[in-house]
């Protein structure tokens, strides 16, 4: 904990050295924002994936983490009321929060001015995912208010692992592709429990499903690794 307290201090005081975010911050600009001010745009995270990310970050020096964070864009949309809505990197941001980092370097990707059409614009631009882990609708009011309140969606961990391993691709700047995969995997696997003890077995099953013809309607199918596996089998 002491190491992370020193790291959080270093990040806050010098590493990012950006101007504070404001409701008038220009679209395309980078600014510094308290993580506590970020509103999630999804209902949950894969907590096992968050914990794994936190462990990876814990091994990095302040300089290494600063370099990483300059590459990892944390995109936000500024709402008509001046609120900041996080549209990607929920797992990374929660991992930082868990470890005591209070400030984040973010990029303003849009500033919306019409309160009446705010959520329709968010959804039309794929900047919000208003469904739970099983694909059931959520209202904006049902979203957690704070990044630290995001509950565990275990099958989102499986989807994240598949994406990282190349079993499906996240093309362009379309966010939340992983949630479509998470819901589908849960349905295919009868929502069996996912935890540290069985994670390896669940991932193996998920990989087989990801490369099967059953997944062909999902975004990003087939992933590069599926084609590699297919070539090896043919050989």
SS (H, E, C) 8-51: HHHHHHHHCCCCECCCCCCCCCEEEEEHHHEEECCCCECHHHHH
Question: What number is the average pLDDT over the span 37-61?
Answer: 95
For the chain, the domain total comes to: 2
**For residues 95 and 81, what is the distance between their CA atoms, to the nearest angstrom?**
27
CB 167 within 8 A of CB 207: yes
Whether residues 128 and 160 share a domain: the answer is no
Considering just the CA atoms, what is the radius of gyration of the chain in Å? 19
Write down the pLDDT at residue 187.
97
Which CATH number goes with the domain that contains 213? 1.10.8.10
Whether residues 140 and 168 share a domain: the answer is no
Whether residues 139 and 159 share a domain: the answer is no
Average pLDDT, the chain: 90
Percent pLDDT > 90 in the chain is 78
Preceding peptide of 86 cis, ω within 30°: no
Whether residues 165 and 136 share a domain: the answer is no
Whether residues 93 and 185 share a domain: the answer is no
Write down the pLDDT at residue 172.
65
DSSP class of 153: -
Task: From 104, 129, 147, give the residue that closes a domain.
Answer: 147
Give the tens place of pLDDT for each residue, 28-42: 999 999 999 999 999
Whether residues 27 and 94 share a domain: the answer is yes
Which CATH number goes with the domain that contains 74? 3.90.1530.10
**For residues 38 and 41, what is the distance between their CA atoms, to the nearest angstrom?**
9
Task: From 147, 174, 189, give the residue that closes a domain.
Answer: 147
Whether residues 136 and 191 share a domain: the answer is no
Whether residues 162 and 135 share a domain: the answer is no
Write down the pLDDT at residue 195.
96
Task: From 147, 165, 190, give the residue that closes a domain.
Answer: 147
**Is-above-0.85 flag for pTM?**
yes
Whether residues 83 and 179 share a domain: the answer is no
Whether residues 134 and 179 share a domain: the answer is no
Whether residues 164 and 220 share a domain: the answer is yes
pLDDT above 60 for 4:
no
Write down the pLDDT at residue 175.
83
Whether residues 98 and 192 share a domain: the answer is no
Pairing of strands 30-34, 103-111: antiparallel
| Residue 234 banded pLDDT, cuts 50, 70, 90 | low
Pairing of strands 103-111, 75-78: parallel
Tokens of 110: 């849009």
Question: What number is the average pLDDT over the span 12-38?
Answer: 86
Question: What number is the average pLDDT over the span 173-199?
Answer: 93
**For residues 163 and 178, what is the distance between their CA atoms, to the nearest angstrom?**
8
| Residue 173 banded pLDDT, cuts 50, 70, 90 | low
pLDDT above 50 for 1:
no
H/E run at residue 63: helix 62-71
pLDDT above 60 for 3:
no
Higher-pLDDT residue of 64, 187: 187
Write down the pLDDT at residue 6.
46
| Residue 71 banded pLDDT, cuts 50, 70, 90 | confident
Domain that holds residue 158: 154-234
Give the tens place of pLDDT for each residue, 88-142: 999 999 999 998 999 999 999 999 999 999 999 999 999 999 999 999 999 999 9
Give percent helix, percent strand, percent coil of the chain, each to the nearest 5. Answer: 50, 10, 40
């Amino acid at each position: 904990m002491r190491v992370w307290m020193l790291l959080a201090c270093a990040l806050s005081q010098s590493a990012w050295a950006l101007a504070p975010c404001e409701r008038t911050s220009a679209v395309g600009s980078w600014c510094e924002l308290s993580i506590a001010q970020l509103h999630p745009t999804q209902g949950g995270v894969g907590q096992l994936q968050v914990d794994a990310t936190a462990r990876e970050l814990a091994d990095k020096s302040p300089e290494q983490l600063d370099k990483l964070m300059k590459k990892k864009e944390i995109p936000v949309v500024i709402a008509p009321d001046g609120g900041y809505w996080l549209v990607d990197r929920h797992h990374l941001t929660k991992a930082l929060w868990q470890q005591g980092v209070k400030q984040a370097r973010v990029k303003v990707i849009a500033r919306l001015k019409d309160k009446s059409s705010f959520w329709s614009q968010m959804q039309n631009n794929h900047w919000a995912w208003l469904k739970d882990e099983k694909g059931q609708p959520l209202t904006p009011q049902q979203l957690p208010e704070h990044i630290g309140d995001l509950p565990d969606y275990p099958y989102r961990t499986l989807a994240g692992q598949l994406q990282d391993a190349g079993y499906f691709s996240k093309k362009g700047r379309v966010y939340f592709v992983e949630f479509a995969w998470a819901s589908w995997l849960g349905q295919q696997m009868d929502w069996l429990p996912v935890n540290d003890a069985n994670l390896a077995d669940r991932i193996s099953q998920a990989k087989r499903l990801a490369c099967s013809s059953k997944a062909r309607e999902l975004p990003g199918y087939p992933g590069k690794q599926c084609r590699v596996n297919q070539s090896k089998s043919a050989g």
